[in-house]
Amino acid sequence: MAEQEGLFAGVFAHGQVDTGSHAWLRAMLDTEAALARAVERAGLAPAGAGAVVTAAAAAAADTIDPAVLGRQAALTGNPVPALVRELTKLVPAQFANAVHPGATSQDINDTAAMLLARQALTVISADLAAAADGCATLAAAHRDTLMIGRTLLQQAVPVTFGLVAAGWLTSLDEARQALDQVRAQRLAVQFGGAAGTLASLGTDGPTVVPLLADELGLGCPVVPWHTDRQRLLDIAFACAGASGALSKIARDVTLLAQSEVGEVREGGAGGGPAGGVRRGGSSAMPHKQNPVAAIAILGCTRRVPGLVATLAAAAEQELQRAAGAWHAEWEPFADLLRLTGSAASWAAELVRGLAVDPGRMRANLDATGGLPLAEHVAGLLAPALGRVAAHDLVAQASARAVATGVSLREALLGQPELRQQLDEAGLSPGQIESALDPAGYLGAAGQFTEAALAAHARQAAG
């Protein structure tokens, strides 16, 4: 995983998803080894050929330099021909025909991509589950923790932090479900030979395909899918959905963690591996405590839509083998898996260590002097005054409260003309006081939070 340890890997290759060159090489060699075992099982290679090629492939994984294959790929347009030559050198002559029989380069590359996707989706799903568990803990602990809800970045009406965390939880659970469905149903071997007919294997080709699928634990497609790229798009779209759920959480945290808001803050290590560096520190400002995990998630997920767009554009592939579109997929596909995996890994850390400040939440809720409860008051007035008149009366009082720096209660009860309209509507000062209590205007927040927790428990139970 050396290339997973580059200058920016700490941010963009966080966690256990590996789609670097060595991972591609291992997946290609695993495919070649499985193909040798499959053709032996089909009676198309000598007894023992599968074991010999498998051993050679294992040795090749440690000795072949991906960079060398990469340079040789300039001669053939992809690295598989060079890989086949190197692998064949490691196999005794009597078993050499068991290397790459019937296959074309795209068969090996596409099947390797499916193996990479399986490993990556498994890791991503586990990290999404860990992040969801963290959200469930937050939702349960803060079911009744009051905070201000914000729409269009402005204060709206009261909500609970439990409901916020429940929203995160549900989106993660649904994203994980979509990933798991793709992993279970859409990963399949590719084996069609030069033009999708397996002509070089004669009538034995259809026998080998399910055997290859069995050897690798992948699905067996109805027909080769050389220029049908829906499987890759299904993976890409599932990753995009997961990235969207992760970026929503991260964006919320960056907004709630602002100094002027201060309702949450990231936890995490106070120190670091080098020179006393601490998480969240700044190179210029010693006081800074930046939300690094949230920022890293956003750095990863911001790149995902462009990668998905590239894969979608590359899905138009001509005839039996694409000229360039297939090639355009390799790096974006690997990057998409890596970045989604990195974001999911960061998210598991983020929610596990998220510190919530209920006192600051309440202070921010109270800071506008009851204005977020204007809708509640208007609703109480509507039966007597009509919806529009009630809205206008409370809007007038709200404007006065903002202009004079008083609370909404004072604006409503302190002006004789407004007080008179309230009296005529049959609302007492005590009713106004009750209407301005944020705890009394939470609607179904608690029930929604409990529903999300129950759904999560069902999914976790399988």
pLDDT in tens, 129-163: 999 999 999 999 999 999 999 999 999 999 999 99
Say if residue 375 is in the same domain as residue 353: no
Check whether 104 has a pLDDT greater than 80.
Answer: yes
Amino acid 268: pLDDT: 62
Amino acid 426: pLDDT: 85
Give me the residues paired with residue 219 across strands.
188
Say if residue 318 is in the same domain as residue 402: no
User: Average pLDDT in the 419-428 region?
Assistant: 84
> Mean pLDDT, the chain, as a whole number?
93
C-alpha span between 239 and 370 (Å, rounded): 42
Higher pLDDT, 86 or 270: 86
Question: Directed axis angle between helix 230-256 and helix 292-301, to 10°?
Answer: 150
DSSP-assigned letter for residue 324: S
Q: For residue 17, what is the domain's CATH number?
A: 1.20.200.10
Q: Give the DSSP H or E segment for 212.
A: helix 205-216
pLDDT in tens, 168-225: 999 999 999 999 999 999 999 999 999 999 999 999 999 999 999 999 999 999 999 9
Amino acid 288: pLDDT: 47
Higher pLDDT, 1 or 362: 362
Quickly list DSSP for 374-395.
HHHHHHHHHHHH-HHHHHHHHH
pLDDT in tens, 285-313: 444 478 999 999 999 999 999 999 999 99
Say if residue 335 is in the same domain as residue 387: no
- At 55, the pLDDT band (50, 70, 90 cuts) reads very high
Say if residue 327 is in the same domain as residue 413: no
> What is the CB neighbour count within 10 angstroms for residue 196?
21
* Domain range enclosing 255: 2-359
455 lies in a domain? no
C-alpha span between 452 and 90 (Å, rounded): 56
C-alpha span between 458 and 462 (Å, rounded): 7
456 lies in a domain? no
C-alpha span between 319 and 227 (Å, rounded): 7
Length reported for the chain: 462
Range in 211-215, 406-410, 446-450 with the lowest mean pLDDT? 406-410
Check whether 236 has a pLDDT greater than 60.
Answer: yes
Amino acid 417: pLDDT: 80
Cβ atoms of residues 209 and 191 within 8 Å: yes
Q: For residue 380, what is the domain's CATH number?
A: 1.10.40
Q: How many domains does the chain have?
A: 2
459 lies in a domain? no
Say if residue 307 is in the same domain as residue 420: no
Query: What separation in angstroms does the CA of 399 have from each of 254, 408, 444, 461?
Result: 30, 9, 29, 52
Say if residue 421 is in the same domain as residue 315: no
Annotated active-site residue in 71, 200, 278, 282: 282
Say if residue 232 is in the same domain as residue 306: yes
Q: Reduced to 3 states, what is the DSSP secondary structure of residue 224?
A: coil
Say if residue 331 is in the same domain as residue 294: yes
> What is the CB neighbour count within 10 angstroms for residue 461?
6
Tokens of 26: 């291992």
Annotated catalytic residue 231: no
Nearest residue to 28 (alpha-carbon basis) of 92, 70, 6: 70
Say if residue 192 is in the same domain as residue 301: yes
Max distance between CA atoms of the chain, in angstroms, equals 104
Tokens of 406: 């008083």
Half-sphere exposure of 2 (CA within 13 A, CB side): 5
- At 269, the pLDDT band (50, 70, 90 cuts) reads very low
Cβ atoms of residues 295 and 302 within 8 Å: no
Q: Give the DSSP H or E segment for 148.
A: strand 146-151
Annotated catalytic residue 321: yes
Quickly list DSSP for 110-133.
HHHHHHHHHHHHHHHHHHHHHHHH
Tell me, rounded to whole angstroms, the distance of Cα 141 from its chain centroid.
24
Amino acid 462: pLDDT: 79
Residue type, 19: T
DSSP-assigned letter for residue 14: -
User: Average pLDDT in the 19-47 region?
Assistant: 97
441 lies in a domain? no
DSSP-assigned letter for residue 145: -
Handedness of CA 27, 29, 32, 33 (dihedral sign): negative
C-alpha span between 350 and 279 (Å, rounded): 12
430 lies in a domain? yes
- At 375, the pLDDT band (50, 70, 90 cuts) reads very high
User: Average pLDDT in the 228-237 region?
Assistant: 98
Say if residue 307 is in the same domain as residue 271: yes
Nearest residue to 191 (alpha-carbon basis) of 158, 214, 164, 160: 214
Amino acid 428: pLDDT: 87
Amino acid 282: pLDDT: 41
Contacts of 285 (CB under 8 A, 6+ apart): none
Check whether 320 has a pLDDT greater than 90.
Answer: yes
pLDDT in tens, 119-135: 999 999 999 999 999 99
pLDDT above 70 covers a percentage of the chain that reads 94
Quickly list DSSP for 41-106.
HTTSS-TTHHHHHHHHHHHHHHH--HHHHHHHHHHHSSSHHHHHHHHHHTS-GGGGGGSSTT--HH
442 lies in a domain? no
Amino acid 422: pLDDT: 85
Annotated active-site residue in 321, 362, 400, 419: 321
Say if residue 291 is in the same domain as residue 424: no
> What is the CB neighbour count within 10 angstroms for residue 42?
19
pLDDT in tens, 378-387: 998 999 889 9
Amino acid 277: pLDDT: 45
Cβ atoms of residues 45 and 202 within 8 Å: no
Say if residue 388 is in the same domain as residue 268: no
- At 418, the pLDDT band (50, 70, 90 cuts) reads confident
User: Average pLDDT in the 3-7 region?
Assistant: 71
Check whether 327 has a pLDDT greater than 60.
Answer: yes
Range in 2-6, 40-44, 77-81 with the lowest mean pLDDT? 2-6
453 lies in a domain? no
For the whole model, what pTM was predicted? 0.92
409 lies in a domain? yes
Check whether 283 has a pLDDT greater than 90.
Answer: no
Amino acid 4: pLDDT: 62
Check whether 112 has a pLDDT greater than 90.
Answer: yes
